């Protein structure tokens, strides 16, 4: 495959952007620059390296991103893989482009090594350290092309990259509402993460492929006729085969029985208006009975990532359950391109200026990015404001730090190395004497930042300092420090004596008088009747061994005492 031509790239860009002559000139410069920079470099596939960055840029143009993103896409590997310095990029293409490229490079360094516990944190961290969604779009486009050419890499590398793609990048794309990208990444990763299952599915699906195709054509003809009668003119009706990766998930849930999967075939109907969506749904239900519980109105109640559509599964021709998805063109675009589509709609629309302050949103947690974007959409209608909004911290209440081994530890904002230490393990927190952040020694009250690599220095038998309570951020660490301090001052504080003695009148009185003569406070006294000799157990306020032994000798002299045990207790 030869590289995407400059013409194709610019044509794709201008198809969605007005007044873009100057932009095209900038894209041309970057195109030539990247071609020159990567000259002579080859991909593992044997292709010119430049094909990779050109393809990355084209994908960004297809997502309708701005010229800045496309240029950064062309240049994204020049600093990392060529002898180009950040300074040169800054001089030739400006600070914004450099910022995007460095963001992409930074993301590349956060690698997922397959630790279950880290996946969600790593996803969040990637979004948090990015500060500009365009960095994520470029990275997704880069990854998409890398996945398409993955077969040329060594097997171990294939597995790692495929795992990272399905655990980290596909979910990020999904969270950004880019369902199509997410699904494509999953599908590209699947043969590498599940090689045997992939072959099994391919074999078993192939046999039924022709039959299904016939069936779809039959259903489609009936639907077209019905819509014509109802005077609805859909933009498109198409059928799709289920993605291999999502099919596998369904198969697992259905005992690997392909006959039990209802929606091996789904038809998608795109119409002009929301009203038409509901009319089409009605028309389909008048043809075939719906399966109970399978009607989903994601138009009235969009999914958390912003997805909108009507879904229904009906007992269709020959009573075969078949799924229909009905949506408008705009909803379709949204589901294909997600946040990237939003980004585009946003910068091309311009109306009134925003009134509310974005900081009001800072307290909200766990709301999806797309939901946030939708809220911002109302608040930042002009292009610059919206771009600025995208640069805000998407997780303003959390920071994401790393252990030296690359495990992600997420903490509240302003957390310190002590919070970090206690998050890892109580013992690490208790024995913490110092910390290194990104290789440099810092004070224990240092405020950690997202992306910091934190190394805790410990010393055996060290106890926490009371002063820590004043600067630790998490309640967890505060409680742990208090516990440790209480232990430190409380150790060991009491002495217990078990006295075996004869059963004689005045025994207890004589023991107590030994205590009072020596001015030793009694904490408790208990007597136990045994078969032969009673036992008296006393607990006294003695915290020193030496003192405890002196009392021991005095108690031994009491008339009738046969045996004494002493024990220091906390």
What is the nearest approach in angstroms of Mn ion to the Cβ of residue 148?
A: 12
Q: Which is nearer to Mn ion, 77 or 410 (CB)?
A: 77
Site string for Mn ion, 367-386 (x = CB under 5 A): --------------------
> Are the C-beta atoms of 320 and 215 separated by less than 8 Å?
yes
Annotated active-site residue in 81, 96, 385, 510: 81
Q: Least separation, in Å, of the C-beta of 180 and Mn ion?
A: 21
Do 263 and 321 form a contact (C-beta atoms < 8 A)?
yes
Question: Shortest Cβ distance from residue 121 to Mn ion (Å)?
Answer: 24
User: What sign has the CA pseudo-torsion 445, 451, 457, 462?
Assistant: positive
> What are the counts of helices (DSSP H) followed by strands (DSSP E) for the chain?
24, 14
80 part of the active site: yes
Using the rule CB under 5 A, give the single segment among 73-81, 355-363, 367-375, 390-398 that binds Mn ion: 73-81
Kindly state the smallest distance separating residue 193's Cβ from Mn ion, in Å: 21
Compose the 15-44 pattern: x for residues touching Mn ion by CB under 5 A, - for all others.
------------------------------
Q: Which CB sits closer to Mn ion, 48 or 142?
A: 142
Instruction: Return the number of the residue (144 or 542) whose C-beta is nearest Mn ion.
Output: 144
Q: Nearer Cβ to Mn ion, position 23 or 77?
A: 77
Considering only 36-44, 60-68, 76-84, 132-140, which stretch makes contact with Mn ion by CB under 5 A?
76-84
Give whichever of 146 and 372 is closer to Mn ion, judged by the CB atom: 146
Q: Considering beta carbons, is residue 43 or 436 the nearer one to Mn ion?
A: 43
CA distances from 93 to 31, 86, 299, 395, 439 (A): 12, 10, 42, 29, 32
Q: Which is nearer to Mn ion, 48 or 77 (CB)?
A: 77
Residues numbered 390 to 449 that lie near Mn ion (CB under 5 A) are: none
Could you say whether residue 184 binds Mn ion (CB under 5 A)?
no
Please count the other Cβ atoms lying within 10 Å of the Cβ belonging to residue 81.
14
Under rule CB under 5 A, residue 142 binds Mn ion = yes
Stretch that binds Mn ion, among 141-149, 384-392, 447-455, 484-492 (CB under 5 A): 141-149
d(CA 569, CA 491): 8
- What is the rounded distance in angstroms from the CA atom of residue 249 to the CA atom of residue 166? 13
CA distance 120 to 112: 11
Least distance CB 80 / Mn ion (angstroms): 8
Q: Are 485 and 463 in contact (CB under 8 A)?
A: yes
Structure tokens at 45: 């596939």
Integer Cα distance of 122 and 135 in angstroms: 16
What residues have CB less than 8 Å from 451, skipping those under 6 apart?
Answer: 106, 125, 129, 400, 401, 402
Q: Which stretch binds Mn ion (CB under 5 A): 75-83, 250-258, 505-513, 514-522?
A: 75-83
User: Quick one: tokens of 62?
Assistant: 């297809």
User: How are the residues of the chain apportioned to helix, strand and coil, as percentages rounded to the nearest 5?
Assistant: 55, 15, 30
Q: Which CB sits closer to Mn ion, 82 or 442?
A: 82
Q: Which is nearer to Mn ion, 76 or 268 (CB)?
A: 76
Q: Closest distance between Mn ion and the C-beta of residue 326, in Å?
A: 38
| Strand pairing class (296-297; 310-315) | antiparallel
Gap between the Cα atoms of 58 and 13, Å rounded: 8
The closest residue (CB) to Mn ion is 142
Q: Which of 23, 48, 66, 77 binds Mn ion (CB under 5 A)?
A: 77
- Residue 48 within binding range of Mn ion, rule CB under 5 A: no
Closest distance of CB 4 from Mn ion, Å: 14
Catalytic residue (one of 25, 80, 414, 544): 80
Taking CB under 5 A as the binding criterion, the range among 12-20, 139-147, 268-276, 482-490 that sits at the site for Mn ion is 139-147
- C-beta of 174: minimal distance to Mn ion in Å? 22
Alpha carbon distances (Å) from 490 to 63, 397, 467, 570: 65, 37, 18, 7
Q: Which of residues 310-329 bind Mn ion (CB under 5 A)?
A: none
| Window of 128-136, 138-146, 153-161, 233-241 that interacts with Mn ion by CB under 5 A | 138-146
Residue count (the chain) = 570
Three-state DSSP state, 426: helix
Asked if 34 contacts 74 with a C-beta cutoff of 8 angstroms, the reply is yes
The site that binds Mn ion (CB under 5 A) totals a number of residues, namely 2
Task: Please choose, out of 137-145, 454-462, 524-532, 553-561, the segment that lies near Mn ion by the rule CB under 5 A.
Answer: 137-145
Q: How far apart are CA 264 and CA 267, in angstroms?
A: 10
Work out how close the CB of 26 gets to Mn ion at its nearest, in angstroms, rounded to a whole number: 20
Contacts of residue 494, Cβ cutoff 8 Å, sequence gap at least 6 = 523, 539, 540, 541, 542, 543, 568, 569, 570
Contact positions toward Mn ion, by CB under 5 A? 77, 142
Catalytic residues: 80-81
């Amino acid at each position: 495959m030869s590289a995407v031509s400059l013409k194709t790239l610019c044509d794709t860009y201008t198809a969605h952007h007005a007044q873009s002559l100057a932009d095209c000139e900038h894209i041309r410069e970057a195109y030539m620059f990247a071609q020159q920079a990567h000259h002579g470099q080859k991909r593992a596939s044997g292709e010119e390296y430049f094909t990779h960055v050109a393809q990355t840029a084209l994908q960004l143009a297809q997502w309708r991103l701005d010229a800045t993103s496309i240029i950064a896409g062309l240049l994204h590997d020049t600093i990392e893989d060529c002898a180009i310095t950040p300074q040169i990029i800054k001089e030739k293409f400006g600070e914004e482009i450099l910022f995007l490229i460095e963001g992409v490079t930074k993301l590349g360094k956060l690698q997922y090594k397959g630790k279950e516990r880290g996946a969600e944190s790593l996803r969040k961290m990637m979004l948090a350290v990015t500060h500009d969604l365009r960095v994520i779009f470029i990275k997704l486009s880069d990854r998409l092309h890398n996945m398409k050419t993955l077969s040329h890499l060594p097997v171990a590398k294939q597995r790692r990259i495929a795992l990272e793609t399905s655990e980290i990048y596909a979910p990020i794309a999904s969270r950004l509402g880019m369902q199509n990208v997410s699904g494509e990444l999953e599908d590209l990763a699947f043969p590498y993460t599940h090689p045997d299952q992939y072959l099994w599915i391919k074999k078993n699906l192939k046999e039924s492929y022709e039959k299904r195709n016939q069936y779809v054509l039959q259903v489609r003809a009936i639907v077209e006729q019905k819509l014509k009668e109802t005077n609805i003119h859909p933009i498109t009706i198409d059928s799709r085969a289920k993605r291999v990766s999502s099919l596998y998930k369904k198969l697992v849930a259905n005992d690997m029985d392909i006959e039990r999967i209802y929606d091996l075939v789904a038809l998608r109907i795109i119409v002009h208006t929301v009203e038409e969506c509901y009319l089409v749904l009605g028309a389909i239900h008048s043809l075939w009975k719906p399966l109970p519980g399978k009607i989903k109105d994601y138009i009235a109640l969009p999914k958390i990532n912003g997805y909108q559509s009507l879904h229904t599964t009906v007992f269709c021709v020959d009573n075969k359950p078949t799924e229909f998805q009905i949506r408008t063109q705009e909803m379709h675009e949204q589901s294909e391109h997600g946040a990237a589509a939003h980004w585009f709609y946003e910068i091309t629309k311009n109306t009134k200026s925003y009134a509310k302050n974005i900081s009001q949103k800072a307290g909200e947690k766990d709301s999806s990015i797309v939901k946030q974007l939708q809220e911002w959409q109302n608040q930042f209608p002009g292009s610059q404001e919206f771009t600025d909004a995208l640069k805000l911290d998407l997780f303003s209440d959390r920071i994401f730090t790393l252990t030296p081994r690359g495990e992600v530890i997420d903490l509240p904002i302003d957390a310190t190395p002590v919070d970090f230490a206690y998050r890892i393990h109580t013992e690490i927190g208790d024995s913490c004497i110092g910390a290194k952040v990104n290789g440099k020694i810092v004070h224990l009250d240092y405020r950690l930042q997202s992306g910091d690599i934190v190394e805790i220095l410990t010393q055996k038998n060290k106890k926490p300092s009371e002063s820590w309570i004043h600067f630790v951020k998490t309640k967890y660490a505060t409680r742990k420090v208090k516990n440790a301090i209480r232990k430190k001052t409380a150790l060991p504080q009491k002495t217990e004596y078990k006295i075996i003695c004869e059963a004689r009148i005045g025994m207890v009185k004589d023991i107590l008088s030994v205590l009072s003569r020596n001015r030793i406070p009694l904490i408790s006294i208990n007597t136990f009747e045994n078969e032969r000799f009673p036992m008296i157990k006393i607990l006294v306020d003695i915290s020193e061994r030496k003192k405890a032994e002196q009392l021991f000798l005095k108690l031994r002299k009491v008339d009738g005492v046969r045996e004494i045990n002493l024990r220091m207790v906390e």
